[in-house]
């Protein structure tokens, strides 16, 4: 895959080689993410970080990633704080913002909106999540996390057995992850979802066509046995017609320490794209698991920074230059 100057809109753009290329660059970025060195390779470059839907991780980690490469970040955080609220089109917004920036990251509630925006942009656009459709950088960081977590157990991604739990219909992170995992060999997907929130037939059919195995479960305890990774998701309540509708599915599957101890194989890795819903009526991933060393959710979130640094470096063509612009840190860092 050619990254230079390209939009990153969908994981459909990535094959296994391109995915591994991102991972290799992410490894190179670790030293900067851990504040062991700094680099100014993108000094003078500007990122427009346009988030027209709520976000904590994706927005801040894309911004931090750009800052860690030496670039500047400009942000809009809601439709109501931008001129989209005055009826400006995505086309005009893209034409204008791409005159102010060297690269744009965008999140928007409508499927296909980031792609539409990119067609009018004069600079590369990265999809930070478009409705229930896709979240490509999340899938890359998820897969990178799986590779690293399994690597500590001397296992690889081929032959992986994974349980996907929750709102598999509306979860864009799950959609992108399934597509990316499909490039590996012999994956077994244990799908645990209410019937109305199952993974789409389109994605299921594509996985089966590539030789992967799909097993459907209605009981959490059955689906989490005999897997190496459990990937929990929250009910995507913002995609439902009403709160009442979403509330019907909240709290249906709750993973906690006692269920984990009783039903999971030792050292099963627990992941979640976050945010987890810790309100009483949801709690799909109980906080009583916080001290479980196999809970990878915060390592997963940390990995978002290096993956997003890698995407910027590849798209802006500075991979070979990063270390040439590096220097020691000058401040005391207590980061572990
Ligand atoms: N995982 C994820 O997309 O988190 P945010 O919504 O906080 O960006």
209 Cα to the center of ligand 1, angstroms: 30
Could you read off the pLDDT of 278-290 as tens digits, one per residue? 999 999 999 999 9
Could you read off the pLDDT of 38-61 as tens digits, one per residue? 999 999 999 999 999 999 999 999
Q: Is pLDDT of 89 > 90?
A: yes
55 Cα to the center of ligand 1, angstroms: 5
**Closest ligand 1 atom to Cα of 54:** 6
Q: Is the CB of 55 under 6 A from ligand 1?
A: yes
178 Cα to the center of ligand 1, angstroms: 18
Q: Is pLDDT of 336 > 80?
A: no
Query: CA dihedral in degrees (57, 238, 271, 14; nearest 10)?
Result: -70
Q: Is the CB of 273 under 6 A from ligand 1?
A: yes
Could you read off the pLDDT of 161-177 as tens digits, one per residue? 999 999 999 999 999 99
Asked if CATH classification 3.40.50.1370 holds for the domain at 11-135+304-328, the reply, yes or no, is: yes
273 Cα to the center of ligand 1, angstroms: 7
- How many Å apart are CA 208 and CA 231, to the nearest integer? 20
138 Cα to the center of ligand 1, angstroms: 8
The CATH number given to 136-298 is: 3.40.50.1370
Q: For the chain, which residues make up each domain, given as ranges? A: 11-135+304-328, 136-298
**pTM for the model:** 0.96
Evaluate whether 11-135+304-328 and 136-298 have a shared fold. yes
Q: Is pLDDT of 335 > 90?
A: no
Q: Is the CB of 238 under 6 A from ligand 1?
A: no
The confidence score (pLDDT) of residue 333 equals 77
Dihedral of alpha carbons 156, 261, 171, 129, sign = negative
Q: Is the CB of 33 under 6 A from ligand 1?
A: no
Q: What is the mean pLDDT of residues 185-204?
A: 97
Could you read off the pLDDT of 110-136 as tens digits, one per residue? 999 999 999 999 999 999 999 999 999
């Amino acid at each position: 895959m050619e990254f230079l100057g390209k939009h990153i809109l969908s994981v459909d753009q990535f094959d296994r080689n391109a995915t591994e290329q991102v991972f290799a660059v992410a490894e190179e970025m670790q030293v900067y993410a851990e504040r062991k060195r700094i680099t100014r390779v993108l000094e003078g470059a500007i990122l427009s970080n346009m988030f027209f839907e709520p976000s904590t991780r994706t927005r801040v980690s894309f911004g931090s990633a750009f800052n860690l490469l030496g670039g500047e970040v400009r942000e809009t955080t809601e439709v109501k704080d931008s001129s989209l609220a005055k009826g400006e089109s995505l086309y005009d917004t893209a034409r204008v913002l791409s005159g102010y920036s060297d690269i744009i990251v965008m999140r928007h509630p409508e499927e296909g909106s980031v792609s539409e925006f990119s067609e009018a942009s004069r600079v590369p656009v990265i999809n930070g999540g478009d409705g229930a459709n896709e979240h490509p950088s999340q899938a890359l960081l998820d897969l990178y996390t799986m590779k690293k977590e399994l690597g500590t157990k001397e296992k690889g991604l081929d032959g992986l057995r994974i349980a996907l739990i929750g709102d598999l219909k509306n979860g864009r992170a799950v959609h992108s992850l399934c597509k990316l995992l499909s490039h590996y060999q012999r994956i077994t997907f244990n799908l645990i979802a209410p019937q109305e929130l199952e993974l789409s037939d389109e994605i299921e059919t594509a996985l089966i066509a590539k030789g992967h195995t799909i097993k459907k479960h209605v009981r959490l305890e059955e689906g989490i046995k005999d897997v190496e990774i459990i990937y929990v998701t929250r009910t995507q309540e913002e995609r439902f017609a009403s709160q009442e509708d979403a509330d019907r599915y909240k709290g249906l599957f709750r993973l906690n320490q006692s269920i984990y101890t009783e039903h999971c194989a030792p050292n099963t890795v627990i992941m979640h794209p976050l945010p987890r819903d810790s309100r009483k009526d949801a709690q799909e991933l109980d906080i009583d698991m916080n001290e479980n060393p196999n809970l990878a959710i915060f390592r997963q979130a940390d990995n978002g920074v290096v993956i997003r640094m890698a995407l910027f470096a590849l798209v802006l063509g500075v991979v070979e230059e990063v270390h040439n612009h590096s220097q020691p840190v000058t401040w005391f860092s207590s980061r572990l």
